Amino acid sequence: MKPALIINGAAGRMGKRIVALACESGQFNIVGATDYPQHPDMGKDIGLLAGIEPINVPLTAAFPDSAAVMIDFSLPQAADAAIDYCAKNGVSLVMGTTGLSEAQLTKLKNASCKIAIVQATNMSLGMNLLFATVGKVAKALGENYDIEIVEAHHRFKKDAPSGTALSLAEAVCQETGRDYPGSLTHGRQGKETSRQKGTIGMHAIRGGDIVGEHRVIYSTLGETVTISHSAHTRDTFVRGALGAAEWVASQNPGLYDMQDVLRLTDRGSDV
């Protein structure tokens, strides 16, 4: 039986592609497509909004009575309602919204005692391999290599630095014993901005329709090593999110990430 799927933030750029590719895959039964109440497309068929045939599911502000799993790519201010609904109704959750507050992250953790949740700042296979790699590279190269992280996104992205860039920095800190987020330096300006040993530089670029680019630069006197990832299309993230939704629907309650979905860890277990 196909999992019943809710897409929160369905009228956004990511939401529309989730609708289109979920229908294309044939692996889900879309039972809800939600967005903020004042959205100008309220009531319209989400299939048409996504550029495909009608699927008889209107864009609404209210969640349906029941579902198996929700994918949330909305905004931080909409995340609380999504978490509360899923926890109350036993709906598994894929949380792809970034920029969540510490209170919201705590709410996610508490909700994971009741439901299975995949929370990830980036859903792509390639980027999750970077998450598993960048810290090990930093540890192997040692403290004489300065580390800078540069990310670039489209002009409409609201949070900076990106959640992905922060996850990369956190991975480096965990492997090398640096303080997170205390060791981060966000941009540089002024006449006295020489690098401080052990810090990680964070730099955000916003322009045009850049989908997502991330670079981790390790540089010392004499050489530079760079690990980078470029997303060519949002479909990369959408396919990852759909894979996460299919996976999490059969998991025990807990807080998981894409490393679990991709079986880079052994925490996940089928119910």
Question: Which residues are the active-site residues?
Answer: 153, 157
* Cα 211 from Cα 191, distance rounded (Å): 33
How do strand 254-256 and strand 116-119 relate by DSSP bridges?
parallel
Q: Which two tokens stand for residue 136?
A: 């090990």
* Cα 137 from Cα 55, distance rounded (Å): 47
Please say whether the beta carbons of 168 and 213 come within 8 A: no
The residue to which tokens 């990310």 are assigned: 151
Q: Among 132, 133, 134, which residue's Cα sits nearest to residue 149?
A: 134
Angle at 134 between CA 130 and CA 136, to 5 degrees: 125
Please say whether the beta carbons of 49 and 11 come within 8 A: yes
